[in-house]
Amino acid sequence: MESVAFYVASRPAHGEGELTVHHPYDGRAVARTTLATAALPAHARAAALDHVSRRLAERAEEVARLITAENGKPAKWARAEVGRAVSTFRWAAEEARRFSGELQRLDTDPAANGRIALVRRAPKGPVLGIAPFNFPLNLVAHKVAPAIAVGAPIIVKPAPATPLSALLLGEILAETELPEGMFSVLPLPNERAAELVADPRLPVVSFTGSGPVGAAIRRSVPEKHVTLELGGNAAAVICEDWNTDEDLTFAAHRIATFSNYQAGQSCIAVQRVYVHEWLYDGFLPRLVAAVEELRTGDPSDPLTDVGPLVSVAAAQRVEAWVDEAVAAGATIEVGGRREGATYPPTVLSGVPADAKVYAEEVFGPVLVVARVEHDQAAFAAVNDSAYGLQAGVFTHRVDVAFAAHRALEVGGVIVGDVPSYRADQMPYGGVKGSGVGREGLRSAMEDYTDPRVMVLTGVSL
């Protein structure tokens, strides 16, 4: 007897368990079908994620060239992004295998003797992931991988300027045995995103992008679960104890590199640097020299450190902000002359606190340096911002590190390095204007799911 298919996402499908339908009158078998699986098993989700990780590694050079072509990112940073995406999917596969829930003893209270709770998590529903242009592969991966890991279907809307990496990822996902409808990649103009955001079939919205757009999304769908990874104005602090020649040279090179490594188009690119006043005069020349060493040019050249911004308009905006700061009294220590879509790595001093390059997110290769009287004044200056994503604190002292962690109003404090460090498995996100919720594989998996409790009664513990 032929098995009758059921339908998933408009396509016929078969499950594992068999169901035979019998005639009520005489009990004869009428037809046979299969039972839909309630949830894709963990091994199947993990296998698909492992496959994507492996295929990205195999096609790494091809994918890196694609990122450079659509984004303008220098080749070495494009390769680094592919490597991170490989790690992101690998971590997701591992988390899918151990996303098992939690046991809680309830007999801590006499009335609950013999009871134990199992807390598992179930997907809230299909996810809408809206990704930006600056990391066109790995920030898409941070939407897709945790959704697949928990068994939630996902629709990805890549940035209109950089859809190719997401489409290639869709091609690799299509090689897996994920069921029909588990993922979709939909290039759309930004003005049509509101249709997807408002769709009641998508109860979860995960957005990475600008603050005003994120705030508008949150206001428009208050009944939905919304995760927002928004802008930043990342600061680094050179503390009083970070005072040797070796210390200052190391910090100068790290800050120079990571204020410019994606042409400044990263939410955690260094934008502000606060230097203890007695170290300032020794640090600034080192920083300027380190910035001057950076090579700007064709992003396909393996020696290029800094490529163009995503468009001429983006570079013109950065140029206007720098010119505004200079007109208000700032000094250009290095850089400051635009050519087409390229804006050179630029260091500014003496910048007024209300200048856009100081107070807003530049999203370009511009760095502001300021003196502070002491470490506490630096921490207060970091907090004097509408944003709170990450901060870097250059110190050797554990007590200063903990003081910074207590004082700084940010989602992450990086001690001994720039704020631009991110491990893809760690919780990542900010406070204030930098968003709500956290990414990072386990954190996003929890964000996409709700706890579901089962209490067992009469259990001997």
Active site residues: 229, 267
3-class DSSP state of 33: strand
| Cα 325 to chain centroid, rounded | 30
- Report the distance separating Cα 269 and Cα 259, nearest Å: 5
Smallest Cα–Cα separation from 284: which of 315, 251, 312?
251
Q: Which two tokens stand for residue 429?
A: 């996100």
Q: What are phi and psi of 354, to 5 degrees?
A: -95, 0
Tell me the angle at which helices 75-98 and 60-71 cross, rounded to the nearest 10 degrees: 120
Q: Where are the alpha helices (DSSP H) in 59-175?
A: 60-71, 75-98, 138-150, 164-173
How far CA 174 is from CA of 36, 49, 52, 147, 186, in Å, comes to 21, 12, 10, 16, 14
Residue 331 parent element (H or E)? strand 331-334
Residue appearing with tokens 């807390």: 119
Enumerate residues 6+ apart whose C-beta is below 8 A from 402: none
Q: Which two tokens stand for residue 210?
A: 């600008």
- Report the distance separating Cα 434 and Cα 211, nearest Å: 7
Q: Which residues lie across from 118 on neighbouring strands? A: 103, 454
Q: Indicate the residue type of 338.
A: R
CB distance 119 to 90 below 8 Å: no
